[in-house]
Structure 1
Amino acid sequence: MSSDTTPRSGPDAGSEQIGPVVEETPVPDPAQDPAQDPARDPNQGAAPDPWQPGAWAERSRADRRRRWQVGGALLLAVVTGTAATVLVTLPERTDVPGLATPNDGRYAFPELTLPPLPVGASAPAGSELKTHAADLRALLLPLPADAVATTPSAAPSASPSPSASPSPSPSPSASASAAPSLPPVAGRWIPCDRDAMLATDDAYALRLTTDACRGAAAQGWTAADGTRTELRLFRFGSGDEAADYFAGARTMDRTKDIGATRLDDDGVYPIAAGQADVRLSEERSGGAPTGSLCWLQSGDVVALVQMTNPHGVPAQAFRQVVALQSSLLA
């Protein structure tokens, strides 16, 4: 047994180890292991070398594809927006689904125009006496759309009393030198009598003579809903005579088409000028009166508006007719 404890030296000195042996893991060289290159994504393939032939061409193609995709999306949005705008603006608002307004009974009248005045005459608004110098028939409302005329007003005569004897057709030279014809008018001339004011007796018709009615014109139609409208215009010598006639006519509580009536104290009727008196029939259907009556006075003219329907007169249509007839007389 040797007692030599001198440490060994030489080549064999490291062959013996005291304690457990720890093996060292070699550190990989990034230059030799491309997978450990921190500049590369391990989830993707090898990054293209920008200096390799074709790398710039590939990047250019990708940029062009991206630009085409963005441009196509913008073009699609513009085309879609333009098409939607055209579809909404081209038709009438009431024809667009979801925007249609329910019909409340009002009529579709043609564009209203005032008749021409005689030379030197002024409109009622500019006249001190508030007189109407225009053709009385042309101051009546025209027929609304889809209405059927109940009076022969398609070809009215140019004068209150048409000639009884027919005249020969004028020659072309005479027609060329003749004065231009009057524009078409809405109504027709009628005599100042009981039928003109739709009265049931002569008690009220006599006032036409007392207040010196100078002329009367009539218009009438039946609308698509069955409502019948009768319009009458009476011209007097002055505003005072018209006001006196209006005061008596407004007390007429019934007509040949409407039975007992009552004053409409609660209704609101937009009157352009003058005064108005409205009566509604006692008979009703579905909550609406079967007859509505309005007397209007504007200057030297008194107007009568009567509307009847066994199923009830539409309130909006009656207000519309009264307002428009009043505006033509203002």
Structure 2
Amino acid sequence: MTEQLTERPAEAVAPAAAPAVTVPGRTRRVLWAVARWTVAVVVCGGVGAGTAMGITALDRNDVPGLATESDGRWEYPPLRLPALPADRPRPFTEGNEGEIHYADVRQLLLPAPTGATVDPKVNGGWVSDEAYLEGFGKEERARVRQVLDDTALHHIAGRAWTMADGTKTRVLLLKFSSVAYADQMYRSLAGDGVEVLPAGVTEMEILDRVAGDVRVPNVSAYAYGETKPYGPDQTLWAYVTAGDTLAVITQTRKGEALAVPFQQTVVLQAQLLG
């Protein structure tokens, strides 16, 4: 299994490991932001409140949760940032005030973990608007369709897979022409008091403390969970805002969705976008 590093080469992204904790029932938003190349375990409060503990350059066994080998984490392949076009900066570096991802967004998708069965229809390529809209309830699709039309969406890249325990994951990267449009898309889905629910979900909560949160500079993540009573499956989902790109991550599992692989997947995708 790959390990979290305190430093990484310019072209490499080190996967983060997630502590083995369950998803709590608190309903507060998770925000990520800390100095680059550091790891932080944070207890997030609600709007206007919160405390944090920064952890840097510690031995693996000194970081809570990282010493446990069988804590439910998935084994992902080593992650690398893709090459950039000549003379193009990374999104959050000097000279890129627009926070634009110049790399092919398909190469920024999180790969499937070891043991996954990848969906041949959503395997790292482009995803149509219609396929994206199928992830929402029928009554919500017209509204989301209008937002897509209004926000200068360039394209959607996606990957989906199923694990041996039945956990189904879908990761979509929506690439816009500007940060403003990406933010507008997020707000239309989950901001400003509006919540557009995934297909099959009728009640939700904003998840607070979704495992020990590894912070990614310049990137924000917002995690949600389907609340009881739900049907045979439970759904967890998250939005990751990173400059001109919005990641939409969904996990569904029969019985109860698991916190550790969900948090791990969100963190790793956030690192690739940061």
* SS of structure 2 residue aligned to 1:241: helix
For residue 247 of structure 2, the aligned residue among 292, 303, 322 is: 303
Following the alignment from structure 2 to structure 1, what is the Cα–Cα distance between the partners of residues 178 and 91?
12
For residue 255 of structure 1, the aligned residue among 187, 198, 201 is: 198
Q: For each residue in 1:203-251, what CA deviation from the matched residue of structure 2 results, as whole angstroms up to 9, or x when unmatched? A: 1232111111111011000012211001111011111111111111123
* SS of structure 1 residue aligned to 2:79: coil
Residues 1:136 and 2:105 aligned together: yes
Residues 1:320 and 2:260 aligned together: no
Q: What residue identity is the alignment partner of 2:74?
A: Y
| Structure 2, gaps ≥5 residues long | 1-66
- The 3 A distance-change label for structure 1 pair 188 and 270 is same
Residues 1:236 and 2:205 aligned together: no
For residue 188 of structure 1, the aligned residue among 121, 125, 131 is: 125
For residue 277 of structure 1, the aligned residue among 204, 222, 230 is: 222
Residues 1:103 and 2:70 aligned together: yes
Whether the aligned pair in 2 keeps the contact of 1:204 and 1:252 (CA below 8 Å) is no
Shift of 1:275: 1.7
Whether the aligned pair in 2 keeps the contact of 1:284 and 1:312 (CA below 8 Å) is no
Following the alignment from structure 2 to structure 1, what is the Cα–Cα distance between the partners of residues 210 and 76?
23
Q: For each residue in 1:108-129, what CA deviation from the matched residue of structure 2 results, as whole angstroms up to 9, or x when unmatched? A: 0000011111112111121221
Whether the aligned pair in 2 keeps the contact of 1:279 and 1:292 (CA below 8 Å) is yes
For residue 85 of structure 2, the aligned residue among 114, 118, 121 is: 118
Q: Map residues 85-100 of structure 1 onto 2, 5 A cutoff.
A: none
Q: Map residues 51-70 of structure 1 onto 2, 5 A cutoff.
A: none
| Structure 1, gaps ≥5 residues long | 1-99, 155-186
Following the alignment from structure 1 to structure 2, what is the Cα–Cα distance between the partners of residues 295 and 236?
15
Following the alignment from structure 1 to structure 2, what is the Cα–Cα distance between the partners of residues 148 and 284?
29
Following the alignment from structure 2 to structure 1, what is the Cα–Cα distance between the partners of residues 208 and 145?
26
Shift of 1:199: 1.9
| Match of residue 57 from structure 2 | none
| Match of residue 204 from structure 1 | 144
Q: Normalised by the size of structure 2, how large is the TM-score?
A: 0.66
* SS of structure 2 residue aligned to 1:132: coil
Following the alignment from structure 2 to structure 1, what is the Cα–Cα distance between the partners of residues 100 and 187?
18
Following the alignment from structure 2 to structure 1, what is the Cα–Cα distance between the partners of residues 225 and 185?
20
Tell me the C-alpha RMSD between the 2 structures: 2.2
- Report the count of equivalent residues: 196
Residues 1:292 and 2:232 aligned together: no
Q: What residue identity is the alignment partner of 1:113?
A: R
Q: What residue identity is the alignment partner of 2:208?
A: D
Residues 1:215 and 2:151 aligned together: no
Following the alignment from structure 1 to structure 2, what is the Cα–Cα distance between the partners of residues 255 and 303?
14
- The 3 A distance-change label for structure 1 pair 148 and 322 is same
Q: For each residue in 1:168-224, what CA deviation from the matched residue of structure 2 results, as whole angstroms up to 9, or x when unmatched? A: xxxxxxxxxxxxxxxxxxx11012346357222221232111111111011000012
* SS of structure 2 residue aligned to 1:231: strand
Higher RCO (C-alpha under 8 Å, 6+ residues apart): 2
* SS of structure 1 residue aligned to 2:224: strand
* SS of structure 2 residue aligned to 1:150: strand
Shift of 1:259: 3.7
Q: Which has the higher strand share?
A: 2
Shift of 1:258: 3.5
| Match of residue 7 from structure 2 | none
- The 3 A distance-change label for structure 1 pair 206 and 197 is farther
Following the alignment from structure 1 to structure 2, what is the Cα–Cα distance between the partners of residues 194 and 262?
25
Q: Which has the higher helix share?
A: 1
